Amino acid sequence: MRAVRLTRRGRIVLIAFAVALALIVLWLGTHAPVTASTRPGSTAGLSYVTVGQGDTLWSIAAAVSPADDPGPVVRQIMNLNGLSDSFIRPGVRIYLPRGL
Protein backbone atom coordinates (compact mmCIF):
# COMPACT_ATOMS: atom_id res chain seq x y z
CA MET A 1 0.00 0.00 0.00
CA ARG A 2 1.26 3.43 -0.91
CA ALA A 3 1.76 6.00 1.82
CA VAL A 4 -0.40 9.11 1.54
CA ARG A 5 1.62 12.26 1.02
CA LEU A 6 0.02 15.61 1.65
CA THR A 7 1.04 18.90 0.17
CA ARG A 8 1.65 21.87 2.41
CA ARG A 9 -1.84 23.17 1.70
CA GLY A 10 -3.29 19.70 2.40
CA ARG A 11 -1.60 19.59 5.81
CA ILE A 12 -2.89 23.08 6.67
CA VAL A 13 -6.43 22.09 5.68
CA LEU A 14 -6.20 18.87 7.71
CA ILE A 15 -4.91 20.69 10.80
CA ALA A 16 -7.54 23.44 10.46
CA PHE A 17 -10.26 20.79 10.19
CA ALA A 18 -8.97 18.97 13.31
CA VAL A 19 -8.80 22.23 15.30
CA ALA A 20 -12.31 23.25 14.18
CA LEU A 21 -13.66 19.83 15.14
CA ALA A 22 -12.00 20.02 18.56
CA LEU A 23 -13.43 23.51 19.18
CA ILE A 24 -16.93 22.35 18.19
CA VAL A 25 -16.71 19.38 20.56
CA LEU A 26 -15.46 21.65 23.35
CA TRP A 27 -18.25 24.16 22.72
CA LEU A 28 -20.91 21.43 22.74
CA GLY A 29 -19.47 20.00 25.96
CA THR A 30 -19.70 23.33 27.75
CA HIS A 31 -23.29 23.90 26.61
CA ALA A 32 -24.61 20.44 27.47
CA PRO A 33 -27.33 20.46 30.10
CA VAL A 34 -26.21 19.50 33.58
CA THR A 35 -28.72 17.01 34.89
CA ALA A 36 -26.92 15.26 37.72
CA SER A 37 -26.43 18.38 39.83
CA THR A 38 -29.62 20.28 39.02
CA ARG A 39 -32.22 17.84 40.36
CA PRO A 40 -32.94 18.68 43.97
CA GLY A 41 -33.16 15.77 46.36
CA SER A 42 -35.77 15.25 49.03
CA THR A 43 -35.41 17.80 51.83
CA ALA A 44 -37.98 16.34 54.24
CA GLY A 45 -36.58 16.25 57.75
CA LEU A 46 -33.22 17.76 56.84
CA SER A 47 -31.57 20.54 58.78
CA TYR A 48 -30.84 23.78 56.98
CA VAL A 49 -29.01 27.06 57.27
CA THR A 50 -30.10 30.45 56.04
CA VAL A 51 -27.39 32.09 53.96
CA GLY A 52 -26.02 35.27 55.49
CA GLN A 53 -24.16 38.16 53.91
CA GLY A 54 -20.69 36.99 52.83
CA ASP A 55 -21.44 33.27 53.24
CA THR A 56 -20.17 30.84 50.63
CA LEU A 57 -20.90 27.17 50.14
CA TRP A 58 -17.30 26.48 51.14
CA SER A 59 -17.64 28.39 54.43
CA ILE A 60 -20.98 26.71 55.18
CA ALA A 61 -19.52 23.25 54.47
CA ALA A 62 -16.48 23.99 56.65
CA ALA A 63 -18.70 25.23 59.50
CA VAL A 64 -21.13 22.29 59.51
CA SER A 65 -18.48 19.62 59.01
CA PRO A 66 -15.15 20.92 60.35
CA ALA A 67 -13.51 17.48 60.46
CA ASP A 68 -14.14 16.76 56.75
CA ASP A 69 -12.74 18.16 53.52
CA PRO A 70 -15.20 20.91 52.45
CA GLY A 71 -14.99 20.02 48.73
CA PRO A 72 -17.11 16.84 48.78
CA VAL A 73 -19.50 18.42 51.30
CA VAL A 74 -20.00 21.40 48.96
CA ARG A 75 -20.83 18.98 46.11
CA GLN A 76 -23.35 17.15 48.34
CA ILE A 77 -24.98 20.45 49.31
CA MET A 78 -25.15 21.53 45.65
CA ASN A 79 -26.73 18.22 44.58
CA LEU A 80 -29.21 18.24 47.45
CA ASN A 81 -30.34 21.81 46.77
CA GLY A 82 -30.34 21.56 42.98
CA LEU A 83 -27.62 24.16 42.52
CA SER A 84 -25.85 24.17 39.17
CA ASP A 85 -23.13 26.53 40.43
CA SER A 86 -21.79 27.74 43.76
CA PHE A 87 -23.47 31.15 43.73
CA ILE A 88 -25.83 31.62 46.67
CA ARG A 89 -27.71 34.69 47.85
CA PRO A 90 -28.26 35.95 51.39
CA GLY A 91 -31.61 34.85 52.80
CA VAL A 92 -31.75 31.60 50.81
CA ARG A 93 -32.38 28.40 52.78
CA ILE A 94 -29.69 25.79 52.11
CA TYR A 95 -30.49 22.23 53.16
CA LEU A 96 -27.67 20.12 54.58
CA PRO A 97 -27.00 16.43 53.93
CA ARG A 98 -27.93 13.95 56.64
CA GLY A 99 -25.36 13.50 59.36
CA LEU A 100 -24.06 17.08 59.26
Boundaries of domain holding 60: 48-95
What CA–CA distance (Å, rounded) separates 98 from 96? 7
Q: In the chain, how many domains are there? A: 1
Query: Looking at the whole model, is its pTM more than 0.75?
Result: no
What CA–CA distance (Å, rounded) separates 51 from 96? 12
Task: Give domain status of residue 81, yes or no.
Answer: yes
For the chain, helix, strand, coil in percent to 5 are 45, 5, 50
Task: Give domain status of residue 59, yes or no.
Answer: yes
Residue-wise pLDDT for 29-73, tens only, equals 877 665 544 455 577 788 999 999 999 999 999 999 898 899 999
**45 φψ region: left (φ > 0), alpha (ψ -120 to 50), beta (else):** left
